[in-house]
Amino acid sequence: MIKTRFAPSPTGFLHVGGARTALFNWLFARHHGGQFVLRIEDTDQVRSTAESAAGILEDMLWLGLNWDEGPQVGGKKNGYFQSMRLAIYEEYLQQLLKEDRAYEAYESPQELAAMRKACEAAKRPFRYRRNMPGRSKAGAGPAVLRFEMPHEDITFQDEILGPITVKADEHDDIVIRKSDGFPTYHFAVVVDDHLMGITHVLRAQEHLMNTPKHLGLYKALGWTPPHHAHMPLVFNMDGTKMSKRDKTRAARQGLAAYASRQKDPDYRLLAERAAVPVEVIAAFVGKKNEDTQLAQKLAAAIGVELPEIDVQDFRRSGYMADALLNFIALVGWSPGEDREILTRDQLLQLFSLGGIGKTNGRFDRKKLAWMNGEYIRAASPDVLLQALNGFLAVSDYPLAGANEELKRDLLEMYKERTGTFGEMAHNAVFFFEEPQYDAKAVTKHVITPEAQSFLSQSLALLEPVHDWTLAGLESAMERVLSLGEKRGAAAQALRVALSGGPVSPPLLQTIVALGRDRTLSRIKANIRPT
């Protein structure tokens, strides 16, 4: 039986590239009637957090990537968190020590840095090996445990890239247990994949050179390794790697523009507004801090939108889970046909490793927004409302306070003209708050003598109506729309008065959703005294 796994480290939120890795593993297992395992690799005790682990589980569930074994599933309490499996790893570490395949090493980070520098000066690569000269003696410092890599070439068949060979002189004796007693990623992943029965490891190409290390461990432990497939990376459209640093980079660019525009070169005004110390902002601007949450906070304070990188970003922007899955499936994989909109069932049916390319995929945000709009327009009213409520639960829009009937009405009004729920919620703010008036639109469509006449006549036609429904308003609105020589001019004056701008959903539906009191009040507020 085929068995795959997704094994994220809980050192931050789930990157969309990680979500694609999870998706491909999930699709491959499900396509073959196999099982999918979720494992949390939290051996980095400095950077791992319970909050990040919980966020990863939440995002996986939102995406609909259910697992057969893992946290909350499979009956083994904590059995899928590596930090809870230390005794298991120690058993196999001791086996390697007993068989003289592992040994203690005592170099400090400073000593290792000096050894690397000496190799660079001699123009030769640094390779830590057991028999190398100059190794520190026992007792010189806290010990790590290193695995003695085989002194031979290692060749393996990658299911995507084909045969890969790493020469014997390219091997390092890797650290498999840190000085704090925790195993390293390299060791824990091999033990876990073997004990959990993983048959296929699908991961990004950035892990390609880890595979020979892992194969060396498999051989030393007497185990059969799984099949390996290394997938292309996810790149931005400009050819750069799609990274969480994209957020900090965009925030710094926004801060530079803000400082110049607002004449706040020392960021003292911003520090007060964002409740962030000046020295913290200065460290961030000086690239001494890559905290993405700080970047998000500062960007929000200056009105800059950061690029979506993590799954949570796309959730907060208002993308539907199935649309995001459909899109990321096509970043590096092709079904072999000229098809773009694929349901989850179609992805399951069509997915194969043979469809995964070797070159890095490009993440086209415009195409994602188009695809999400297609999903919005194709969804049933109930599915759409459920998805909207999920978006509103993780965002901050006044639409969240609307009743279900009004949400359904707004979805019907906006679904043909929106790409995301975030776009819809932003454009619909005027239904709940006083509109932010577009000065150019007001000048062109509201304050001219003709427009003022239209507004006064519209008020006279609408004020007597008390049956504030589509049917009840239809006759009055037909008369409003016929005002003036140019049909539509009165409607545009009314649209700007009610929404603040020249673009809104159909006017009749807008007026019904706004309600009688709010509609009449806004018309009156835009009629200038003569």
Query: How many Cβ atoms sit within 10 Å of the Cβ of residue 119?
Result: 13
Predicted confidence band of residue 108 (pLDDT cuts 50, 70, 90): confident
Instruction: Tell me what pLDDT residue 75 has.
Output: 61
For residues 453 and 526, is the Cβ–Cβ distance under 8 A? Answer: no
For residues 450 and 489, is the Cβ–Cβ distance under 8 A? Answer: yes
Tokens 């009165």: give the residue: 490
User: For a pLDDT cut of 90, what percent of the chain falls above it?
Assistant: 83
Instruction: Tell me what pLDDT residue 60 has.
Output: 98
> Among 118-127, 214-223, 416-425, 460-469, whose mean pLDDT is lowest?
118-127
Q: Rounded to whole angstroms, how far apart are CA atoms 172 and 106?
A: 16
Instruction: Tell me what pLDDT residue 140 has.
Output: 64
Distances (CA, A) of 109 to 6, 142, 175, 199: 31, 11, 13, 36
Q: Over the chain, what is the mean pLDDT? A: 94
Q: Give mean pLDDT, residues 71-76.
A: 78
Instruction: Tell me what pLDDT residue 76 has.
Output: 66
Distances (CA, A) of 441 to 267, 437, 486, 501: 34, 8, 18, 6
Nearest alpha carbon to residue 203 among 59, 371, 8: 8
pLDDT digits (tens, 9 = 90+) for 15-24: 999 999 999 9
Q: Give mean pLDDT, residues 135-142.
A: 76
Predicted confidence band of residue 420 (pLDDT cuts 50, 70, 90): very high
> Integer distance in angstroms from the first to the last C-alpha of the chain?
82
Predicted confidence band of residue 78 (pLDDT cuts 50, 70, 90): low
pLDDT digits (tens, 9 = 90+) for 313-356: 999 999 999 999 999 999 999 998 888 999 999 999 999 999 99
Q: Give mean pLDDT, residues 151-164.
A: 98
Q: Rounded to whole angstroms, how far apart are CA atoms 152 and 197?
A: 27
> Among 114-123, 342-351, 433-442, whose mean pLDDT is lowest?
114-123
pLDDT digits (tens, 9 = 90+) for 367-396: 999 999 999 999 999 999 999 999 999 999
Reply yes or no on whether the pLDDT at 293 is more than 90: no
Reply yes or no on whether the pLDDT at 365 is more than 90: yes
Instruction: Tell me what pLDDT residue 484 has.
Output: 77
Reply yes or no on whether the pLDDT at 77 is more than 80: no
Predicted confidence band of residue 397 (pLDDT cuts 50, 70, 90): very high
Q: Give mean pLDDT, residues 426-452.
A: 95
For residues 318 and 426, is the Cβ–Cβ distance under 8 A? Answer: no
HSE-CB of 365 using CA atoms within 13 angstroms: 14
Cβ neighbours of residue 283 closer than 8 Å, sequence gap 6 or more: 289
- β-partners of residue 147 are 102
Instruction: Tell me what pLDDT residue 489 has.
Output: 84
Q: Which comes out higher in pLDDT, residue 139 or 503?
A: 503
pLDDT digits (tens, 9 = 90+) for 205-245: 999 999 999 999 999 999 999 999 999 999 999 999 999 89
Reply yes or no on whether the pLDDT at 277 is more than 70: yes
The two structure tokens encoding residue 96: 């390697």
Predicted confidence band of residue 45 (pLDDT cuts 50, 70, 90): confident
Predicted confidence band of residue 460 (pLDDT cuts 50, 70, 90): very high
Q: Show the CA angle centred on residue 308, arms to residues 303 and 313, nearest 5°.
A: 90
Tokens 């523009």: give the residue: 257
Instruction: Tell me what pLDDT residue 507 has.
Output: 94
The two structure tokens encoding residue 468: 């504030």
Predicted confidence band of residue 191 (pLDDT cuts 50, 70, 90): very high
Q: Give mean pLDDT, residues 458-480.
A: 95
User: For a pLDDT cut of 70, what percent of the chain falls above it?
Assistant: 99
For residues 372 and 419, is the Cβ–Cβ distance under 8 A? Answer: yes
Instruction: Tell me what pLDDT residue 73 has.
Output: 86
